[in-house]
Amino acid sequence: MKELSAASQVSLYVLLALMGLLALLLWGLQFMILRGKAFTNPDGSTDDWREQKTHYGIAFADVFVACPANILGIVLVFLAPRWGYYLLALASFWWVWANVMTTATSVRFYNPRLNFVMWFIGYPFGILVGLAYIVWTVIHLYAIYSL
């Protein structure tokens, strides 16, 4: 990480902050769903595992795998950078996959028309954050993996 320029380090810290905030928000919301409380999404749909059983599995995966791995990856970037970068790369693929799935479902079945900002943050923003970290990793591949 010492070989990274100041701009690269700043962009990394911005990405880490965004990934951390999204993970903490998702962690809280998905934990709420696991406990049986329904959550109304920005597109008007509802995440309630009593209505759609797949929501329980998605919430379980987020609460016990994706969000902890993301937070642990952020911590490891500072303690054991190579492991942190590896773990965050995996978490970024999760961000992209999960948000592509939910964005496609939202656009196809719910056709959101109101409150674009909340819808964007709830769905495609995670895709952009995940892709941004993957692109950042590819650009800095040699510097971060040749520690």
113 pLDDT tier (thresholds 50, 70, 90): low
Distance in angstroms (rounded) separating the CA atoms of residues 55 and 33: 8
Q: Residue 124's closest CA among 69, 43, 4?
A: 43
What is 3-52 written as a DSSP string?
A: TS-HHHHHHHHHHHHHHHHHHHHHHHHHHHHHTT--EE-TTS-EE-TTT-
Token duo for residue 85: 């970068």
What is 103-147 written as a DSSP string?
A: HHHIIIII---S-HHHHHHHTHHHHHHHHHHHHHHHHTHHHHH--
Asked if the model's pLDDT at residue 115 lies above 70, the reply is yes
Q: Residue 19's closest CA among 79, 119, 96, 112?
A: 96
Token duo for residue 137: 């990793």
Share of the chain above pLDDT 90, in %: 55
Q: For tokens 């791995």, name the residue.
A: 69
109 pLDDT tier (thresholds 50, 70, 90): confident
Asked if the model's pLDDT at residue 80 lies above 90, the reply is yes
Q: Is the pTM of this model over 0.95?
A: no
Count the helices and strands in the chain (H runs, E runs).
7, 2
Residue 110: per-residue pLDDT: 78
Rounded average pLDDT over 105-125:
78
Radius of gyration of the chain (CA): 16
Each domain of the chain, given as residue ranges in start order, spans 6-145
Residue 51: per-residue pLDDT: 81
24 pLDDT tier (thresholds 50, 70, 90): very high
Quote the DSSP letter at residue 65. Answer: I
Asked if the model's pLDDT at residue 2 lies above 80, the reply is no
